[in-house]
């Protein structure tokens, strides 16, 4: 009887461990944030993310067509951090979390700070 109880316990522990590791969200893909900027102008930013383990690479396209590679990207299953070169002496720093289906990121440079809600774009078939 103890052997059966031990075997049942081991199966439950392995199932829970598998469920916990399978619960890590995959944020790889394309994301877009639409926003209203200073002076009431509408803008859009697009993230292209590739996640390998905890390392994040990809690009950020800003509202005026600038493109920057994501640097030092990290994903721990719940929070995302990276930076993109903003100009020759500044960088855009991003950090945030996955909230439901959306990435909510705080973005900042030396000149400004904002929050963007990036929504996932459909994956190509």
Provide the phi-psi class of 77: left if phi over 0, else alpha when psi is between -120 and 50, else beta.
left
Q: Cα–Cα distance between 1 and 7 in angstroms, integer?
A: 10
CA distance 47 to 104: 12
Percent over 90 (pLDDT), the chain: 58
The pLDDT, as a whole number, for residue 20 is 44
Confidence of residue 19 (pLDDT cuts 50, 70, 90): very low
Residue ranges and CATH numbers for the domains of the chain are: 26-120 (2.40.128.20)
Q: Full-prediction pTM beyond 0.85?
A: no
Question: Within 13 A of 46's CA, how many CA atoms are on the CB side?
Answer: 10
Alpha helices in the chain (DSSP H): 2-22
Q: In the prediction, which pLDDT does 21 show?
A: 44
Which residues are bridge partners to 68 per DSSP? Answer: 60
Task: Output the CA torsion 13→18→19→22 (10° steps).
Answer: 160
Q: What is the pLDDT of residues 40-82, one digit of tens each?
A: 788 899 999 999 999 999 999 987 767 899 999 999 999 999 9
């Amino acid at each position: 009887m103890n052997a059966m109880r031990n075997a049942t316990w081991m199966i439950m522990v392995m199932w829970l461990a598998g469920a916990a590791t399978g619960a890590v969200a995959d944020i790889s893909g394309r994301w877009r944030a639409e926003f209203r900027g200073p002076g009431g102008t509408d803008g859009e930013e697009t993230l292209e993310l590739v996640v390998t383990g905890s390392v994040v690479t990809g690009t950020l396209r800003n509202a005026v067509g600038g493109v920057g590679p994501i640097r030092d990207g990290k994903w721990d299953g719940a929070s995302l951090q990276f930076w993109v070169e903003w100009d020759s002496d500044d960088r855009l720093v991003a950090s945030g979390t996955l909230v439901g289906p959306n990435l909510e990121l705080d973005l900042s440079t030396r000149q400004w700070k904002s929050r963007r809600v990036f929504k996932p774009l459909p994956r190509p078939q």
